[in-house]
Structures are given as C-alpha cells and as structure tokens.
Amino acid sequence: MSHNNGSIKLVAGNANRPLAEAIGAYLATPLTRAVVRRFADMEIFVEIQENVRGTDVFVLQSTSFPTNDHLMELLIITDALRRSSARRITAVIPYFGYARQDRRSSGRTPISAKLVANLITHAGADRVLTVDLHAGQIQGFFDIPTDNLFSAPVMVQDVKARFDLSNITVVSPDVGGVVRARALAKRIDAQLAIVDKRRERPGESEVMNVIGDVEGRRCILVDDIIDSGGTLVNAADALLARGATEVHAYITHGVLSGGAVARVTASNLKELVITDSIQPTEAVRVARNIRVISIASLLAEAIGRTAHEESVSSLFD
C-alpha cells in the first residue's frame, strides 16, 4: 500500500484524538487543522483551517459517549467539508453508536441505526468506514458505500503472541455471536463453544448452559461490545464452573458504562482485552485486568487503500 501522495486529508473530532493521531502517524499525514468547539450553550462550532478543495477527506470520529455530542460533531464536520468543496468525504467511525437499535424490538419503537445512517448520508458523507458493526446488515442501512472492517486480525496477532494455541477454546457469550467467534477460532485453529443465556430484562443476563467441551481448557470469550459487563462476567463464571482453567475475553468496543469497569475488575476474568475504537477512560487504563490494543494500523491501511482505490476486503483474506 503506497502512502499519502498529498491528496489525503485527515480531520478528527473530539471523540478519540489519540487514535486519530496514531492513524495520522501511520500514514505519515498530520491531522488537518480544524476547530471543533462549543459555544456557552454547548452548541457545536466547526471551522476547517486548511484548504480542502478537491481533496479526499477522512473524518475520524467514533460516536461513543457522549454519543449525541460526538454524532453531531461528525455531522457538522461533514457539512463544513462539503461546503468547502472537498472532492470526497469518508466518515471513519471506529465505533458506530446506535448500532444495537438495528430493528424494532417491539411495537412503536424506532430503528435508530437506520436514522443515524440517513443523517450521516444527508450531511454529505460519500462513504463510511467502520469496525465490527453489531449487525452486519447495518451496512445496508446506508445508501452510500460502507466498509465494515473486522478487528479479528489484530486480535489473532495478539492471541498468537501470548497463548499456547493447543489448549485454547474460543467461546461465544451468546448464540448471536457465533459467527464472530467461529471466524476467530478458524484463524487460530481452535475449538469452539457457545454460552446459552436467557436475558430476563435489558442490562441483565442469566447464563443457562455451555455448549461444547471446556473442561481443562483456557477459554477466550469473543464479542463486539461490552457495555455493563454482566453477560461477560456471568459467562466467565459458567465456563469456570464447567472446568475451564481460566477465562480471557477479547472485545472490540469497550463501552463499559456505569459500574462495568469495577464489575470486570472484581470478576473471575483473567483479562479483558479491548481495542481503542473508543478512547479508554482513566478507570480502564488503571484496571488490573483490562488491556487495550490498538486498531490504528488496521484503520490506516483501510484509509490508504480506499484513497488509492485498492481492495479493502483483502486485509482479511
């Protein structure tokens, strides 16, 4: 992949500045000078301070907490670039907020993921780059080209560097995540198991059964999002109760809301590994059993390939 020839511009919002700077360093492309600030009433103001006319611009912004603020930043930055005659605008959204609202769960409820996709499109984005969507079909919510990258290559590299693969079982914490877990298990030639759980109410889960042999094995739980941490902690307890020697977890998006960090720290999880798709809080950084790995190189490669009209899917072959 050839690097920046001068036509790429990287514009960062306030959601995850360290990740944006790491992407810029990988591409040898400094972040474009821009002001993204608030007025006294918290209204967002954006000013792009460099010429972007005719350039290929990538807006780097996760829509993580505070979700609505960061989403509005993304929309306003995109509008500012469109009105500044950027040739193409790509919204790079490492963590796509509202992705869990991808269907109507009951009567008279919204499909908020589709609404957000419409907002991003109408703001002026020409394409989207994101990582590990909660549901792959969300790509179809956008009426513009959308690349859903997978963090699996980064996780596989880390697993291979740290574990004896002969005694590993990859575990999906629920039936819905089996495809994701199977993909990782295939890459490291490991066994697969599934935790069957019953969710009584939102934010709570009760583990019911473990499908697969985990006795005497080191287990790696794999999922896209950890929010409250309840599902993961309960799954770890169930696996240990069925004879697993230790339980690790590899999760792409560390939402970790409320008391999640304390819950994970006090749990039987040997280690939780998350990516920097969401900027880690201070509580995450000092937690004894939480480690952060970077997806900056993955995103940078995808950006470079997109800019040069090269294959992005070949990153995962």
Sheet holding 88-93, edge to edge: 8-12, 56-60, 88-93, 127-131, 146-149
Give catalytic status of residue 197 as yes or no: yes
Q: Is there a binding annotation on residue 61?
A: no
- DSSP 8-state class, residue 279: P
Closest C-alpha to 284, from 264, 314, 313, 268: 264
Q: Is there a binding annotation on residue 228?
A: yes
Q: Is there a binding annotation on residue 230?
A: yes
Q: Is there a binding annotation on residue 231?
A: yes
Structural element, H or E, at residue 20: helix 17-26
Q: Is there a binding annotation on residue 174?
A: yes
Q: Which of 9, 160, 186, 197 is catalytic?
A: 197
Reading the block at residue 279, the tokens are 């900027």
Q: Is there a binding annotation on residue 237?
A: no
Q: Is there a binding annotation on residue 101?
A: yes
Q: Which residues, in sequence order, are bridge partners of residue 10?
A: 58
C-alpha–C-alpha distance, residues 306 and 310, integer Å: 6
Reading the block at residue 274, the tokens are 């998350």
Instruction: Name the maximum alpha-carbon separation found in the chain.
Output: 61
Q: Is there a binding annotation on residue 143?
A: no
Pairing of strands 44-48, 34-38: antiparallel
C-alpha–C-alpha distance, residues 35 and 267, integer Å: 42
Q: Is there a binding annotation on residue 313?
A: no
Q: Is there a binding annotation on residue 100?
A: yes
Q: Is there a binding annotation on residue 134?
A: yes
C-alpha–C-alpha distance, residues 120 and 127, integer Å: 9
Q: Is there a binding annotation on residue 229?
A: yes
| Binding region for Mg(2+) | 134, 174
Residues classed as catalytic:
197
| Binding region for D-ribose 5-phosphate | 199, 223, 227-231
| Binding region for ATP | 41-43, 100-101
| Binding region | 41-43, 100-101, 134, 174, 199, 223, 227-231
